[in-house]
Amino acid sequence: MTASSTGPGTGPVDPAALFVDFAGQVRSRLAAIDEEVRVGGLDPALDLIVTSLRKGGVLQAFGTGHSQAFAMEIAGRAGGLIPTHAVALRDVVLKGGRDAAILADGTLERDATIVDELYALYRFDPADVFLIASNSGVNGSIVGLALRAKEEGHPVIAVTSLEHTNAVTPKHPSGKRLSEIADVVIDNRAPYGDTTLPLGDGLGVGAVSSITAAYLAQLLTVGAAARLRADGEVPPLYISANVPGGDEHNNALKERYAGRIGSLS
């Protein structure tokens, strides 16, 4: 219990105090990530990413639920790497033959059988690397895609909450967690249940996984671009379409990866 709450259902909560508490929760987690970066904790992931890019590979980003925020930070945004692609469950409707009703109840992310259908919608290259984000790291589609990517010879980088995933039972028939499949595991520092501020009666607010995952996505992008630049290469980065010349710059580079890249937008 924090100073922001007086106990389970026993009194009022001060919003101003909660704001301060939440800011502290976010800062402490970002600071922990920064420390990991300082000691080289992201280097194994950056090694895989840069190697992929140099071989003409594409970064395949996947997340379900709110972890789609991670994929959106990786794929198709200003300042991001052009050879990126967002794998999205909704594509079984938009690009496949499924009825839109399948997306209505939010249970598709738990379906371990959807992976082969989803995988068949895209064109992957042997050099591609998969970046998969899931706070729990146990849902069927998440674990299934990680397993399929590994079977096809692709490296897998996982962004997950180690505290949460180690506290819950895997839901995939394999009995595996995303963290047990990936070549590299990055802890998003989110707590069990994601929320950081208890309000009593079993309730909590202040979820942080989307914030820390987006930060990690940007760190990976920055790190990969910096490595390429340091070696005298020109990083293939998007310029905002709202900047003069942005479309021309982006379209010229996107042609190299025709049919292989895209975003969630």
* pLDDT of res. 264: 61
Q: Looking at the domain assignment, is residue 66 inside a domain? A: yes
- Comparing C-alpha atoms, which of 186, 174, 182 is closest to residue 150? 182
CATH code, domain with 128: 3.40.50.10490
Q: Looking at the domain assignment, is residue 4 inside a domain? A: no
Could you give the angle at which helices 209-230 and 43-54 cross, rounded to 10 degrees?
A: 60
Q: Looking at the domain assignment, is residue 242 inside a domain? A: yes
Rounded Cα distance, 35 and 232, in Å: 27
Decide if pLDDT at 90 tops 50. Answer: yes
Q: Looking at the domain assignment, is residue 3 inside a domain? A: no
Rounded Cα distance, 176 and 140, in Å: 10
Q: Looking at the domain assignment, is residue 196 inside a domain? A: yes
Decide if pLDDT at 10 tops 60. Answer: no
pTM exceeds 0.75, yes or no: yes
Domain of residue 136: give its range: 15-257
Q: What percent of the chain has pLDDT over 70?
A: 95
* pLDDT of res. 5: 38
Q: Looking at the domain assignment, is residue 8 inside a domain? A: no
Confidence band of 11 (pLDDT split at 50, 70, 90): low
Structural domains of the chain, count: 1
Q: What is the mean pLDDT of residues 255-265?
A: 76
Task: Quick: pLDDT tens for 192-231.
Answer: 999 999 999 999 999 999 999 999 999 999 999 999 999 9
Confidence band of 265 (pLDDT split at 50, 70, 90): low
